[in-house]
Chain A
């Protein structure tokens, strides 16, 4: 049945190990969150600091890219190679990104030239 699985009681050691592992993983997530907040803050700060637009635009786009990859691979667990169908998922996501980029290119070049 779709909702069935094997039920297995963990040994005390295994249980404690898994709990510890989950806690360590959660701490890593909080660090990732702190990095994302920092990147966001940096992006706003660069704009408020009023540098040349030719400098700011690539920098904040890069910061957004880094933050999105961090979000995908940590919060959305794309780093979890053991998750089911992760290969299919990564393929779809990155092809989605390629399609998105092509759309930007098409729309913007239609306007520019």
Chain B
């Protein structure tokens, strides 16, 4: 294995620490021992190829999965998936899930007293194109209460899961909305130690992405871990 194929080290402060006591669920679930640092082998430099067979046309539009259209503010969320070297990550699977406009997930464990929307399931998926671009059409999720602390509310967010080309590019994250007054109060958002890294989880309102007379647009670029050097194309 050529050393240039190995991935760049992770910068400190980028990812949350396992134990984040303000997020109560971490207290009994965060490992207490430090992870053992290993060299990157073929086991990590490879990973599942999650490609076109998982996606059909229309899976990127969460507003047309039922007979009627969901209630709420229609939005467009689009962006580019890149690696640290600025190289687009093409043909990779993005999975997205969210609650409805009232702040309720279609999930049996969600007991929030807010209505389900018969026209909204809240999950979609898409493959990035040749230049790493993706686009979802959905409705803006609501805020919802959770039992983490007294009067705790999650800011509106979309969950994203991205595969990337190897085990080391795997990423699950959340996208937030600009100007949300709940962000400074949210232990999950604030679990990212680095302020700039945290703020990169907030989508940017984008007039270019906005479609006149139809929907506001937001731009959310995603950057995956990159290799030490771009491998030679064979």
Binding between chains A and B: no
